[in-house]
Chain A
Amino acid sequence: MNGMMLGRYLPMDSFIHRLDPRLKIGSLLLLLISVFFDAGFIGYGILGIFVIVLVILSKMKLSQVVKSIKPMIFMMIFLMFFNLLFIQKGTLLLSLGFLKIYDQALIQTAYIFIRLILIIIMTTILTATTKPLDLTLGIEHLLSPFKKIGFPTHEVAMMISIALRFIPTLLEETQRIMKAQASRGVEFSEGSLKEKIMSIVSLIIPLFISAFQRAEDLANAMESRNYNPEAKRTRYKQLIWKVSDTISFVCVCAVCAGIVTLSIVL
């Protein structure tokens, strides 16, 4: 659990770390959208190179990037497996009884694989280089235009920041309970299916109880300080848009525009 990379902030000082969170969130959205434009392998090549440049700029290590993909591997294999079997277009490449693999299926599966990898790495870059609090601040700023139509921007941002705040706490709690139950002879990695279910139960129930307990404590603490989501508040931390942010945004837009053009041309 200590090796978890997904969604974890890496305290470092890099070009990407210093960028404005609003820019990073906006850029991620644009890049995510462009991932789904079908610009062929050339398009994915461009995006791939761009993502590699971002990884280098953010000073992330290769091992950290690999670690961020690892937890998703099972889901990826699952998705790819079904794609391979259920897309039945193009020419038949291989036929084993009811298993039929077509060339279009192969290409589509490769696309999905590349898309997932790109999405995971892009998201990891955002969370690894942006402090959770900056992230929520950015989201709140980006959502602020919707305030006019009655969208509860502040509440949503508060919910997100609380959720993010408690991820490490809950992970710690999970580890603590796992150790306590391991001391009572539970083996989380071994045993028959029945034993495995039992060991998960012995983890989940205490975890839920403590999570609810924490939620209640937090709600009480907020209420006792008279928390009012509608109150006007100022911020200690101000977001300042710099020249480097503008330049970065132009670069991201250029890449995305390139992908969209490619997909139209092809």
Chain B
Amino acid sequence: MSITFKKVEHVYSENTPFSYHALKGVDLNIKTGSMTALIGHTGSGKSTLIQHINALLLPTSGEIQIEDVMITATNKPESLKPLRKKAGLVFQFPEYQLFEETILKDIIFGPKNFGIEESEAEIIAKKVLKLVGLDESYLEKSPFDLSGGQKRRVAIAGILAMDPDILILDEPTAGLDPQGAKEMLNLFKKINRSGKTIIIVSHDMNQVLEYCDDVIVMSNGKVERHESVDEIFKETEYLSSLSIDLPTITSFILQLNKHGFKIDSSIKDVDQLVKEIGGQL
């Protein structure tokens, strides 16, 4: 029971002058319950890949298995609706998807679409709003009166309210202040600990190191690496060839080691690093 991609190809606007080959033979297996970071440059195919997981895009060829659902090029769109509930996708800047008069109505919009009773959905709404760090007084406010960061929280709450088994987030912390970003990531980690699979597109390697278990590196429509966080940040040359920066702490350790220290570069925690340096002085 996991997410499996087999030889997935995706071509946008096939057979037109605008044709664009976005995914080239992607093979992938994401374990249930993992928290995976998806990294790579703009245009490397990250967004295309994640839109296959909840079947917003169908593969041009190849197949994708999400738990017991199989997605191929010939699937009928209506057979894939249950998948939208199973895999919740939060787009970049999701605040633009808000449209209802009140925050409550906006959060229960998703659950209602999947056939959950209004009264039950309202209970869920109160719960998820608390999860994203807003209190119940917000329920009757208009989402358009909120600040950007609060809108983002409400939009994410709208997806969480659908209770997806797989949560996919496309740069959820872009444009948030550091404190807000940290709160968001802690929330995702908490959701991950409750047994949900999380896939997160990120450009911030510090976040990747701190919060994720595995890393998928995409380049030119291909999955080039799929390894644990510890493994990937050892490949300094490969990452610099893609001009992906190392996490601050990792590059600091590497600098220290150049000057005679012998510190394990997989240390993620500042306190532990301080102890380690103290021991070697």
Contacts and interface: CB of A to CB of B under 8 A. Distances in A.
Interface of A: 2-3, 10-12, 176-177, 179-187, 189-190, 201-202, 205-206, 209-210
Contact of B96 (A2, A177, A184, A186): A177
B17 A11 contact: yes
B17 A182 contact: no
Given A185-B110, A206-B98, 10 more contacts: A2-B12, A2-B18, A10-B17, A180-B91, A181-B97, A185-B81, A185-B84, A185-B114, A202-B109, A209-B144
Nearest to B164: A183
A184 B109 contact: yes
Interface in B188-227: none
Contact of A186 (B90, B91, B113): B113
Interface in B103-119: 109-110, 113-114
B163 to A, nearest CB: 12
Contact of B81 (A12, A176, A187): A187
Given A2-B12, A185-B81, A180 B96 contact: yes
A187 B99 CA distance: 16
A66 to B, nearest CB: 13
B4 interface: no
A187 B96 CA distance: 18
A193 B56 CA distance: 23
Contact of A184 (B18, B51, B77, B159): B159
A187 B88 CA distance: 15
B54 interface: yes
12 contacts: A3-B13, A176-B91, A182-B56, A183-B56, A183-B88, A183-B159, A184-B97, A184-B113, A184-B159, A185-B84, A206-B97, A210-B96
Nearest to B87: A183
